[in-house]
Amino acid sequence: MADKERFRPADHPNEHFLLTTVVGSYPKPTWLHRSRDLHEGGDLSRDRAPEIRESDIDLDFDDEDWVEAKDDAARLITNEHERAGLDVVTDGEMRRSEMVEYFAHRIDGFEFNGPVKVWGHNYFHKPSVVSDVEYDEPWLVDEYEFTSEVADAPVKVPLTGPYTLARWSFNEAYESTEAVAYDLADLVNHEVERLVEAGAQYIQIDEPALAQHEDDHAVVGECLDRIVAGLPDDVRVGLHVCYGDYSRIYPEVLDFPVDELDLELANGDYEQLDVFQEPEFTTDLALGVVDVHHAEVESVPEIKANIRKGFEVVPPERLVVSPDCGLKLLPREAAFEKMRNMVRAAREVEEELDAGEIEVAGARAGAD
């Protein structure tokens, strides 16, 4: 069990420590999108001043420029996370196109046939599994090494879980989705080992497809067993789940080999919180305390009230504070303000806990 205490900053001001972090993704700066357009051949469709002729526009943007742009974005957003005061940061997944596509592009056995609809005019390039999946090039080691070098704070590595990768792909080659997921889990295990070798201490498996289908917890449980096989005990492993029917997966998730369960709950106004109250929640809870689908920034008092909801499930020693899900669909300013208010709220709640001003259900106050 990797306790969150090991990520406590040296200058943490309070005795209590509610670790603050993010789920992972963050809005990309517009210039990064434009850089991608340029790298992919240039986009001349946008309005320009009449005196600028098409031939005057320099579209030269080679691979090196594109790498530099991604490095710059990763540095910028890592720093933005630190400026918000987060205890554990990511690079906002600046290098990743989309949570399934990015990985499928790096795994042998996947192919792409074009975009498919998610809703309205929102599409994603849903890959097809056309043969046995195999590890090809590294997925995230470079991303982790770069981020940890530019960050002062500890870095978390989120990666899309094998069940979600399998569920959100077309399966042309395997007998079942489960079979795809298990093979992918072995590849995730391999990648996590490499990340740990590179120094990663905090891994988060994202499984948004969990809690949508009957008995999917059994498949995810088996996947997680494979993912953590051979992993040192001091590596903290989290599991992120969102927008599902949590009663389908609780209490089964308590048997998963993870240190932390990260849950979207603010969006539904904690309607599903009671699911986790019985039987006792025995792992750490990373509680979603800001909604990622509303650009309106929650105030510090509102977020404090959300954080206190967490104490209905776990004592402060086992509570981690985070947004509901990736912030990437928000305007960037709103994303930043949400993080900053979240950190302020956490620090104020810690102060109040230190001062004994918050009553926490005593029976469960023992994480140690």
Q: Which residues form the interface with another protein (CB under 8 A)? A: 113-123, 126, 128, 167-168, 170-172, 209, 212-213, 243
169/201 with CB nearer another protein = 169
CA angle 292, 298, 303 (to 5 degrees): 100
Give the integer Cα–Cα distance in Å for 132 and 175: 11
Q: How far is the CB of 246 from another protein (least distance, A)?
A: 14
CB of 146 to another protein, least distance (A): 30
- Min dist CB 103 to another protein, Å, is 16
CB–CB of 310/285 below 8 Å? yes
To the nearest 10 degrees (0 to 180), the angle between helices 63-83 and 30-39 is 170
Angstrom distances, CA of residue 255 to CA of 207, 259, 266: 16, 11, 24
Q: Which is nearer to another protein, 140 or 211 (CB)?
A: 211
Cβ closer to another protein: 80 or 216?
A: 216
Give residue 150's Cα distance to chain centre: 19
Residue whose CB is less far from another protein, 83 or 117: 117
| Residue placing its CB nearer to another protein in the complex, 167 or 338 | 167
Nearer to another protein, 114 or 279 (CB): 114
CB of 208 to another protein, least distance (A): 9
Decide if 140 contacts 159 (C-beta within 8 A): yes
Least Å from the CB of residue 106 to another protein = 20
Contact criterion met (CB below 8 Å) for 265 and 320? no
Tokens 């289908």: give the residue: 213
Closer CB to another protein, residue 154 or residue 162?
162
Per-position b or e across 295-333, b if 16+ CB within 10 A of its CB:
eebbebeebbebbbbbbebbbbbbbbbbbbbbbbebebe
CB of 173 to another protein, least distance (A): 8
Rounded to the nearest whole angstrom, what is the least distance from the CB of residue 125 to another protein in the complex? 8
- Looking up tokens 């770069």 gives 146
Instruction: Between 130 and 365, name the residue whose CB sits nearer to another protein.
Output: 130
Least Å distance, CB 169 to another protein, is: 9
The nearer residue to another protein, 191 or 291, going by C-beta atoms, is 291
- Please report how close the Cβ of residue 240 comes to another protein at its closest, in angstroms: 16
- SS3 sequence of 291-327: CCCCCCCCCHHHHHHHHHHHCCCCCHHHEEEECCCCC
Half-sphere exposure of 41 (CA within 13 A, CB side): 1
What whole-number distance in Å separates Cα of residue 156 and Cα of residue 153?
A: 10
Q: Which two tokens stand for residue 312?
A: 């209905």
